[in-house]
Amino acid sequence: MKTWSWKTWRWSLPSVAIVAASLAAFCAGGHFAAKALIQSQQMRQLGELTDVVLRRSEVAVDSGSASMDEIVKAGNIDCEPAALQAFRLRVYQRPGVKDVRLANSDGSVICSAYSETLEFDKGWVGRSDMLPSRDSSLLLFRVEQFGADALGVMRDRGDSRSLVAILGINSYLFDIMPAELRAHSTVTLKLTNGQALGEFSLDEIAVVHPIDFVRSSARYPLLAMISVDRAALARWNGQLYWPAMLLAALLGLVFGLVLIRTRRVEGPLAELDRALVREQFKPYYQPTFHLKSGAILGCEVLARWIRDDGSVVPPMNFIPLAESTGRIRPMTWQILNQALKDLNALLRERKEFKLSVNIVPSHLLDADFVPTLRRVVASAKVATRQIVLEITERDKLDDIARAAEVVRELRDLGFRVAIDDVGVGHSGLSQLKVLGATTMKIDKFFVDTITRDGSTTSIVEMLVRLAKDLAMTVIAEGIETADQVQALCSCGVEEGQGYLVSPPLPIAKFAELVEVQQAKSDIRAALDAAMVA
């Protein structure tokens, strides 16, 4: 069976359609996968950025809380100059802390590290409006100082005196967005009651259709939010898209090619079936000839598989598979029908012309073989005695009695039956007798050795004697030289077949060969007639 290779690659419309469909499917899949991948990556990255905002804010609160804890540890919690100096020292040490104050338990301020700043406070809330943290002694609230938002952190000490750290919320704390999104996003920190503590955005900001990413702190009543413009987000990280699409297209192309390849090498049996449907099995014809005169007496039909590309596959590459899978039956009828069509005029004109067809033993033994054969030959209006059925002796006949019965039936109908490859098969000479065939085809093996080997001559002579006894015609196969013709004639063989006269030919060439021979014999006949006259 012909195997696939890149050299034999041929494009057909279905192949192109398969590759195009595969490309389209993979590109569509690639598009959605790339989009989903990019989106999930964006979600993850923006989630992480929101976390960063929250962490930075928590660290700021931690810093305020730590400064108050240090003051408590130092022990002087009052409004004396020494205590206020200690407050200022903490403010100095911690950049985020703007002020430290002493407050009553209701949240009202008693004194401040910088008492002059007190008058600039706006929106100072009472304890009841302060928001608790996971550490319940820490309360958070918003206060406005000098027109800017600040975060108040009160450390409730459980007695009448509480400490408050005022944290300045530097919006540059939130300048964390990547360059592509910086002008299309806002980063906000809020208290969980919705009060904004700080926001970072560029002046020329354009967040038309925002997508929000929100994270809330587990430790403090704080919310971080990043709002990004949808269109800007769609463009962000888009560099992944085209490589992903290219990869998808490549995969689609490879998949399409693999699909075609598997279609092409889908298995020899499927190929055989397709060839049967397309009637690609054609008869070739090899003449049988009279050894002495060279006159063409008939021909053997030999199957050839003509592929789409015009290549010719020899029978040994498909007959065994066709035989083992039962396809030999439709194949035989296809070939015989074609042969009867090709040679119809010749067969009807020259009644002595014989057409030999190869029949596998299992087909011969089919119940409907003989009726079908009769019908096929009758509908071609060809005489049954012009048809020779060649049964090979190479394979063992399982049911010799039944085979003999079929051979008798065929002979009764006028058909001729040849035993093919005589001398190299499993069955002994006794089978020849039992089968009752009309013709014996001596295998090429004997023809090859007859000019070199004396024992071959004896065997051929013996076969010729046997044939005579059984009233069988003898045909020697595979004759390639004139010496072989001579040797065969000496043994008493009268008919032959072989490259010496012609290889198997397609119908046009075979018809030409027959015509040329006919013309020659006509000339000879005319000359003979002239001589006689």
Q: Using CB distances below 5 to 8 A depending on partner kind, what does residue 95 bind out of Ca ion, ligand C2E, none?
A: none
The size of the chain, in residues, is 533
- Return the residues of window 331-350 that contact ligand C2E according to CB under 6 A: 332, 335
DSSP single-letter state for residue 8 = G
Q: Which stretch binds ligand C2E (CB under 6 A): 27-35, 272-280, 314-322, 410-418?
A: 314-322
Output the CA torsion sign for 80, 85, 88, 94: negative
Q: Which is nearer to ligand C2E, 232 or 355 (CB)?
A: 355
Distances (CA, A) of 330 to 135, 273, 296, 365, 379: 91, 10, 29, 15, 17
Q: Are 276 and 45 in contact (CB under 8 A)?
A: no
Minimal distance, residue 356 CB to Ca ion, in Å: 7
Q: Measuring CA to CA, which residue among 422, 2, 42 is closest to residue 237?
A: 42
* Identified binder of ligand C2E from the candidate list 478, 493, 496, 505, rule CB under 6 A: 478
Q: Which amino acid is at 166?
A: I
Q: Which is nearer to Ca ion, 145 or 358 (CB)?
A: 358
Q: Which stretch binds ligand C2E (CB under 6 A): 8-16, 32-40, 233-241, 299-307?
A: 299-307
Q: Which is nearer to Ca ion, 442 or 485 (CB)?
A: 442
DSSP single-letter state for residue 204 = T
> Is residue 505 a contact point for ligand C2E (CB under 6 A)?
no
Minimal distance, residue 475 CB to ligand C2E, in Å: 11
DSSP single-letter state for residue 472 = -
* Identified binder of ligand C2E from the candidate list 162, 358, 456, 473, rule CB under 6 A: 358
Would you tell me the crossing angle of helices 400-412 and 369-379 to the nearest 10 degrees?
A: 30
Q: Using CB distances below 5 to 8 A depending on partner kind, what does residue 448 bind out of Ca ion, ligand C2E, none?
A: none
Minimal distance, residue 484 CB to ligand C2E, in Å: 9
> Is residue 393 a contact point for ligand C2E (CB under 6 A)?
no
Q: Measuring CA to CA, which residue among 526, 15, 500 is closest to residue 257?
A: 15
Two tokens at 269?
């049996």
Distance CA 89, CA 100 (A): 10
- CA 264 to chain CA centroid, nearest Å: 12
Minimal distance, residue 4 CB to ligand C2E, in Å: 23
Minimal distance, residue 304 CB to ligand C2E, in Å: 8
Q: Using CB distances below 5 to 8 A depending on partner kind, what does residue 314 bind out of ligand C2E, Ca ion, none?
A: ligand C2E
Q: Which is nearer to ligand C2E, 121 or 443 (CB)?
A: 443
Residues lying near Ca ion in the complex (CB under 5 A): 358, 390, 420-421, 477
Q: Which is nearer to ligand C2E, 156 or 300 (CB)?
A: 300
Minimal distance, residue 251 CB to ligand C2E, in Å: 44
> Is residue 320 a contact point for ligand C2E (CB under 6 A)?
no
* Identified binder of ligand C2E from the candidate list 46, 302, 407, 410, rule CB under 6 A: 302
* Identified binder of ligand C2E from the candidate list 173, 420, 459, 472, rule CB under 6 A: 420
> Is residue 153 a contact point for ligand C2E (CB under 6 A)?
no
> Is residue 298 a contact point for ligand C2E (CB under 6 A)?
no
- Using DSSP's 3-state secondary structure scheme, residue 403 falls into helix
Q: Which amino acid is at 16?
A: V
Q: Which is nearer to Ca ion, 186 or 358 (CB)?
A: 358
Q: Which stretch binds ligand C2E (CB under 6 A): 55-63, 127-135, 313-321, 343-351?
A: 313-321
Distance CA 316, CA 394 (A): 14
Q: Are 411 and 385 in contact (CB under 8 A)?
A: no
Q: How many residues bind ligand C2E, per CB under 6 A?
A: 25
> Is residue 315 a contact point for ligand C2E (CB under 6 A)?
yes
Q: Which amino acid is at 369?
A: F
Q: Are 410 and 370 in contact (CB under 8 A)?
A: yes
Q: Which stretch binds ligand C2E (CB under 6 A): 64-72, 194-202, 295-303, 514-522?
A: 295-303
Q: In terms of C-beta distances under 8 Å and separation of at least 24 residues, what long-range contacts does 512-518 make, across chains too?
A: 513/287, 513/296, 514/287, 514/296, 514/346, 517/294, 517/295, 517/296
Output the CA torsion sign for 191, 195, 200, 204: positive
Q: Which is nearer to ligand C2E, 156 or 323 (CB)?
A: 323
- Using DSSP's 3-state secondary structure scheme, residue 366 falls into coil
Q: Which stretch binds ligand C2E (CB under 6 A): 72-80, 205-213, 262-270, 309-317?
A: 309-317
Using alpha carbons only, give the angle 470, 473, 476 rounded to the nearest 5 degrees.
125
- Using DSSP's 3-state secondary structure scheme, residue 466 falls into helix
Supply φ then ψ for residue 282, to 5 degrees.
Answer: -120, 150
Distance CA 158, CA 163 (A): 11
Q: Which is nearer to ligand C2E, 222 or 302 (CB)?
A: 302
Output the CA torsion sign for 309, 315, 316, 321: positive
Q: Which is nearer to Ca ion, 149 or 477 (CB)?
A: 477
> Is residue 480 a contact point for ligand C2E (CB under 6 A)?
yes
Distance CA 221, CA 473 (A): 113
- Return the residues of window 176-195 that contact ligand C2E according to CB under 6 A: none
Minimal distance, residue 303 CB to ligand C2E, in Å: 3
* Identified binder of ligand C2E from the candidate list 87, 285, 504, 514, rule CB under 6 A: 504
Distance CA 17, CA 25 (A): 12
Supply φ then ψ for residue 388, to 5 degrees.
Answer: -115, 130
Distances (CA, A) of 425 to 300, 397, 405, 428, 448: 20, 10, 21, 8, 17
> Is residue 319 a contact point for ligand C2E (CB under 6 A)?
yes
Contact residues: ligand C2E, CB under 6 A:
286, 301-303, 314-316, 319, 328, 332, 335, 358, 360, 390, 392, 420-421, 477-480, 497-499, 504
